[in-house]
Amino acid sequence: MGHGDDDDGHHDISREELMRPYQPSFMQTHFVPFLFSIVDVPVTFFREHIVEKLRKPYPYYHRRFRRVPTIETCALDDLVCFHEANMQYERDRAVDKNILRILRRRRDECRAWYKFDEEDVQRFCKDIIVEHEEAAVNFFIKYGELSWNTDVSHAFMKQKHRMLWERRHGPVGTGQRSAVDVARAVESADKAAEQEDSMLATLRRITSRAGLPKELRP
């Protein structure tokens, strides 16, 4: 059954009707906002006058653990201190890992957005790339070359060995130093150690004299 020219149900839209501004109905302008305000106003009032005033400066859904003494401050027979320091180390490692993952994702997204022009990558993604590289280097300094089942004592010994290396050879990653430079670094480190020993000896001599009677002092 087709539509003929004399079909009264057919209505042609004129240009004026098509370009006429949209006029929202009463339901859209009054009734729906009224229903929304019934739910929104009490919730907003409770949040602004109660929750915001009682909330601490940090987000309430972030759990903060109290910092415990680190491994170098624990006594040799304090197993509880060892356990707390190890748990803190694992939490810090998980946080640093997630931070590095977020920075890596930002770098990849920025490169993917400007991938058709290398100049735009260097222009708009430079800060993001540098930030990710610094975070990756710091993560490797602290956790690199450690297996998955290491604890805080292994990380502490790794940091100690790194400090000893940098004391004699300079910062790690600055390049291979010559034998002369290494010898000079060793000599300067030995002189610093001797100077420190002489200072300690002088301090011991002064403190030991202070404890002697006046008649026995030189």
Chain segment 18-39, per-residue pLDDT in tens: 777 878 888 888 888 899 899 9
Dihedral angle sign, alpha carbons of residues 164, 149, 134, 111: positive
Q: Tell me: the pLDDT tens digits for 56-106?
A: 776 656 677 888 888 888 998 889 999 999 999 999 988 888 898 999 999
Distance CA 175, CA 186 (A): 17
CB 121 within 8 A of CB 110: yes
pTM confidence score: 0.51
pLDDT value at position 128?
Answer: 92
Angle at CA of residue 122, ends 116 and 124, nearest 5°: 85
- Pull the structure tokens for residue 6: 């004399």
Q: Show me where the domains of the chain are located.
A: 168-193
Distance CA 216, CA 218 (A): 6
Nearest to 151 by CA among 82, 98, 99: 82
Q: Tell me: the pLDDT tens digits for 99-157?
A: 989 999 999 999 999 888 888 888 899 999 889 888 888 888 888 888 778 889 999 99
